[in-house]
Homo-oligomer: A and B are copies of this chain.
Amino acid sequence: MADSSTQVRPGGRSAKVRAAVHRAVAELLAEEEAETLTLPAVAARAGVHPTTLYRRWGSTAQLLTDVATSRFSDDLVVPDSGSLAGDLERWLADVATDVADPDTLALMRATIATGPAGGCACVEDRHRQLGAILRHEVERGGTAPEVESAADSLLGPVYYRAVFTSEPASADWARGLVATYLSTLPQSSADPRPTDTR
């Protein structure tokens, strides 16, 4: 979010402030204070002056998208188990357990409300990871569906359950989603249950 026209200065202090503010946002959202998430409140929790937040982020919407993009871009490495089914099962199970966390869910809900770009910020990196998994399968010599198709059938149910319903999205259920999805593909019948590596 730093302005690129001027010289950026990611030194120790700015980084510390940014980290403290991000942590404060996550804490306040975790305490179901979604309605009262205001810049002075975040500043007080982070031990920073409110003016800093008004200058660096300007509004809660921009602050939330910043927090969401940095939260949903790290961790969750792409697996490489040797088969498409194994990769997808492991990856989607990780995604399901991630969005099952109430704190993560609160951040997602608040980010979605910031506008059409908010939802994209939550799943942008997931699509990138899914594309990498499918590309791995093609490089192995196999065939893989389009990212959009896989996202519809895999990420769709997981995020739908997390956001719209009160039913839990367990890891086993996510693995079942992968199995049924692969069964609909025309020629993915290489191996029905090749879970583990080598």
User: CB within 8 Å of B: which of A112-162?
Assistant: 112-116, 118-120, 122-123, 127, 148, 151-153, 155-161
Choose one: B60, B151, B164; the contact of A123 (CB below 8 Å): B164
Neighbouring B residues of A85 by C-beta, 8 Å: none
Q: How many residues of A contact B (CB 8 A)?
A: 40
Complex CA–CA separation, A102 to B155 (angstroms): 22
Residue of B nearest to A169 (CB): B152
User: CB within 8 Å of B: which of A153-186?
Assistant: 153, 155-161, 163-167, 177, 180, 183-184
A161 touches B152 (CB 8 A): yes
Prevailing SS type, chain A contact patch: helix
Is the CB of A110 closer than 8 A to any CB of chain B? yes
Neighbouring B residues of A159 by C-beta, 8 Å: 156, 160, 163-164
Knowing A109-B112, A109-B113, A113-B109 touch, does A120 contact B157 (C-beta < 8 A)? no
Neighbouring B residues of A115 by C-beta, 8 Å: 32, 34, 109
Residue of B nearest to A164 (CB): B119
Is the CB of A61 closer than 8 A to any CB of chain B? yes
B122 touches A151 (CB 8 A): no
Can you report 8 A-B residue pairs in the complex whose CB atoms are below 8 A from each other? A105-B116, A110-B113, A120-B165, A120-B166, A123-B165, A151-B160, A159-B163, A159-B164
**Chain A: residues with CB nearer than 8 A to chain B?**
32, 34-35, 59-61, 105, 109-110, 112-116, 118-120, 122-123, 127, 148, 151-153, 155-161, 163-167, 177, 180, 183-184
